[in-house]
Amino acid sequence: MADLKGKVALCTGAGRREGLGEAILKQLAADGARVVVTDLGTPQTHMGAEHIGSSDEMEAVAEDIRRAGGEAITVPLDVRDEAQVEAAVAKTVEAFGRLDILINNAGIGYLIKPVTEMTREEWTAVLEVNLMGAFLCTKHAARQMIKQGEGGRIVNIASQAAKSGHPHMSAYVSSKHGMVGLTRTTAVELGPHGITVNAVCPNHVTTGLGSVQNEYFARYKGLSVEDYLAQMRNNIPMRRVGLPSDTANAVAFLCSEAAAYVTGEAMNVSGGVEMH
C-alpha cells in the first residue's frame, strides 16, 4: 500500500463505472490521496453516451470514494479543450489547495476499422483525445506542480498497443505509441523539478471499452466472444486477462515515494504477453 496522505490526484476519463479510471482513483483514495474525478459528462461527436462517463456516473464514482472514507470532487472535462484543462487544474487547487498527481487516462479505443476505411475525422478524434489531451493535461498540471516546488507524479495510461501493432487500430496504436514518446520527453524536461513521468501499458482489460473490442475482434476472427477470450487467455503466460486492479496497483506504485527514482518508463502490466 502506497502512502499518499496529503497528496491530490486528478484522473481524466474516470467517470465510467468499472473502468480503469474508477479503479485507479479508488486505489489512490484508499492510499490516502484526495481525488478529482473527471470525464466528458455529456456526449460529443464520436463520443456517444455509451462510451463516456456521464455527470451522474462521475458523481457515483465520487460518492463511492466518499462512502469509503475518502475525499473526492467531480469536474466535467473535455481534454481536447485547453481552457477546460486549465480550469480543471484551477478547480482542483481551489478545492484541495494543490495538485500532486495527474493520471492521463481519457481515451478513445472503440473506433476500430481497416486503415483503408478510417476517415480523417475518426483518426483526428482518436489522436485529439488520446494524445493531444494527454499533452494539454500534462502541460497545465506540470505548471502547477512546478509552481508548488515539491515535485509531482504524472502517469500516462498507454496500452500494449503502445508497444505492438494491432490490426484495424491504426489511430489507437499510433496515439499510444505517441503517448510513450510524450512520456519520455516530458520525463527529461520535468525531472529537474522532481516530477516523474511514466506510462503504464496494460494488455487487454475487459472494461466497457474492452467489451467493445472483444465483440469486434471476435467477429473479425470468426469466433464467439467466449472462444476469442479463451484464445486470448491461452496466449498470456499468466493465463488470464488483466483486471482494472492490476493497472491501478501499478499506478499507485508509480505515484508513491518508492518510485521516486523511476521516470521515463513504459511499464508493461500484461501478464507476460508483452515483454519489451
Question: How many whole angstroms separate alpha carbon 147 and alpha carbon 141?
Answer: 10
Question: How many whole angstroms separate alpha carbon 264 and alpha carbon 181?
Answer: 9
Q: Which residues are the active-site residues?
A: 172, 176
